[in-house]
Every structure is written in C-alpha cells, then in structure tokens.
Amino acid sequence: MTWWQGLISAISAIILFLFSLQSFSHELQIAGGETLRTWLGRVTANRWQGLLVGAGTTALVQSSSAVTALAVTLVDADIISFKASLGILLGANIGTTTTAWLVSFKLTEMGPYFILAGALISVLPFRFRFLGKSIFYFGLIFFALNLVSVGLKPLSVVPAFHEWLVRSETPWLGVLIGMIFTALVQSSSVTTGLAILLVQQGLLPAAAAIPIVMGANIGTTSTGIIASLGMRPIARATATANLLFNIGGVLIFFPFLRPFSRFMVDWFRAGMSVAWAHLIFNVTVALVFGPLLDQIEPRISARFRLPPKLQRATEN
C-alpha cells in the first residue's frame, strides 16, 4: 500500500468511525427514549449529581457532543434548569475521556466480536434484541479505529507528514489544530482517538498530542452552539457556558502546558500519557468551576437577560 492509498484508507476509516459514534449514540437514545429525558430531569437538581450523570451518560453513549446537545434541548424544553445543565456539561467533559482509555488499552481488536454479537442479538427472538444495534455500532467504533491504524502505517515513511505533526508540539498550534479539526468533524472522540493512534504509530509525539486533545474540548462545544441556534435565550446560555468552561480550562493549563505534557510523557507510556492528561485536564476543569456555579450562573443569566423564574425552572 502506497502512502497515498494509506491516506485515503485512513480518511475513509475516520468517516466510518464518526458514523459509528453517531449511530451508537442514536441507537442508545432511541432505546432510552423519554425515560432518559425524564430521568435526567429528576436526578440533576444537585450540581454534583448532574456532574456524575453527565459523566456517566457520556461514557455510555461515547459522545459529549450528543449529551451537550441533549442538555441544551432539555433546558429549552424546561425539563431541566439552566443551573442543572451546567453540572451536566462539566460531567460530559469527564465522560468523554473514556474514548482515550479504550484506545490506549488497545481494545480496538475487540471490534469484530461486538459486531458479531450485535448482529446475532438483533435477529434472535429475545425481548431485548433492540440492544443488538447498539452493540453492533459499539463494535464498529473499534473496528473503524483499527482500520485507521492500518491506514496510517504507510504515512510513517513520509517525512513531510511527520514534520507537520511534530509542529503541533507547539502548545498554541496543537490547541488550534485540535479545536478546528473537532469543530469540523463535530466529535472530540474522533480527534482524541486519532491523536492516540498517531502516538501509538510513532507518527506523533505524545507531548504534541496532549495540546491537541485539549483543543478538542473547545472544538466540541460547536455542536451545542449549533443546536441552540433558533432556541430560546436559556438554551443559548447553556451552550455558551459550555464554551466558556472549556476555554477557561485551556487558559488555566496553557501557561504550564509544555512542562505538563513533558511530565505526563515521563511518567506514563505513550498513549497512556495522553489519556491521563486528558482525564486530569477535565477533572481539574470540573473541580475549578463546579464550586463556582453559584457565582457563574447569575453572570451568564444576566448576559442573556434570563428572567429569574426561567433560570430556576424545575429546580428543587
């Protein structure tokens, strides 16, 4: 396989990976239906409960973009309050780190088993056969990542490609690349998974991948912003809060990003260093902004001129 064929194969596999993520999330939302929406509205009154729910739901559906868009929709429908949505958003950032761990542990080879199991469950006369599609697409996520890995191998002999990737070790450039790429593909999981695969292939230094995954946190907020267009101000306030949380997190880390990246690389092996850095970053953002929600909420509410009743809708 030539480097050009490898590049086309890798791009095709990335598209398949994105399709798998979207389909997996969609199938789980169909399976949950109104039950998921009602449950979210009931258990997110407390900010820390909301954070845990956001993290758990995102880890389950493998898409912080889907959970963010869902939170914006629920706020617009007065099912959850604006304040409750803030905890969900912080938790969603933590939950999305599961993709990095799955790739770091090289579980992509399990894809064909999940695909086979999902296909079999879908045709068997069982009550829960509707879960077969979810299992199938979950396996397809891993299978697509494996195809990306295969497609990237020929690129290792292309000096220009390697030199371009190394440049992302410059913190601001790595953050920018992660932000733009994620905004384009509408999935931080794609960016994170691809960055770790490049590290495992020896094409991208781990210290360069860390700024990229941090930039992905900013880029993924574009989904919520797009989803809030045409909705009420309270939905746009939720999407804006998500953007501010992630920009604030990057600004906190940015002055120390280079030494932080090198420290993580020194302590953990390649792919694991990126996964740990991603987790530490998002947990830190949650711990910094979580206790400040009482101060943050009125400021954003005032910016969007939200009536007090609307701010506290459905809160206990």
Mapping DSSP onto H, E and C, the string for 9-56 reads: HHHHHHHHHHHHHHHHHHHHHHHHHHHHHHHHHHHCCCHHHHHHHHHH
For residue 135, being part of any structural domain is answered with: yes
Kindly give, in sequence order, each residue whose CB lies less than 8 Å from that of residue 16, ignoring residues fewer than 6 positions away: 140, 144, 147
pLDDT at residue 35 is higher than 70: no
For residue 71, being part of any structural domain is answered with: yes
Mean of pLDDT values over 250-266: 92
* Cα angle 44, 245, 56; round to 5: 40
What is the span of the domain harbouring residue 13? 3-311
Q: How far apart are CA 88 and CA 286, in angstroms?
A: 10
For residue 316, being part of any structural domain is answered with: no
Q: What's the pLDDT at 268?
A: 85
Kindly indicate the confidence band of residue 34, based on its pLDDT and cuts at 50, 70 and 90: low
Q: What's the pLDDT at 316?
A: 40
What's the token pair of residue 84? 């409750």
Mean of pLDDT values over 272-290: 92
- If you average pLDDT over each of 12-16, 26-30, 58-62, 270-274, which comes out highest? 270-274
pLDDT tens digit sequence for 153-178: 666 566 666 666 667 778 888 899 88
Kindly indicate the confidence band of residue 313, based on its pLDDT and cuts at 50, 70 and 90: very low
Q: How far apart are CA 22 and CA 40, in angstroms?
A: 20
pLDDT more than 90, % of the chain: 16
Q: How far apart are CA 99 and CA 62, in angstroms?
A: 7
Q: What's the pLDDT at 264?
A: 92
Q: Do the Cβ atoms of 239 and 221 come closer than 8 Å? A: yes
Residue with token string 């932080």 = 260
Closest CA to 102 of 47, 24, 181: 24
For residue 203, being part of any structural domain is answered with: yes
pLDDT at residue 285 is higher than 90: yes
End-to-end CA distance of the chain: 61
Q: Do the Cβ atoms of 92 and 58 come closer than 8 Å? A: yes
- Cβ atoms < 10 Å from Cβ of 33: 9
Number of folded domains in the chain? 1
Entry pTM? 0.78
Q: How far apart are CA 13 and CA 177, in angstroms?
A: 20
For residue 245, being part of any structural domain is answered with: yes
For residue 144, being part of any structural domain is answered with: yes
For residue 114, being part of any structural domain is answered with: yes
Q: How far apart are CA 316 and CA 305, in angstroms?
A: 22
pLDDT at residue 280 is higher than 90: yes
For residue 265, being part of any structural domain is answered with: yes
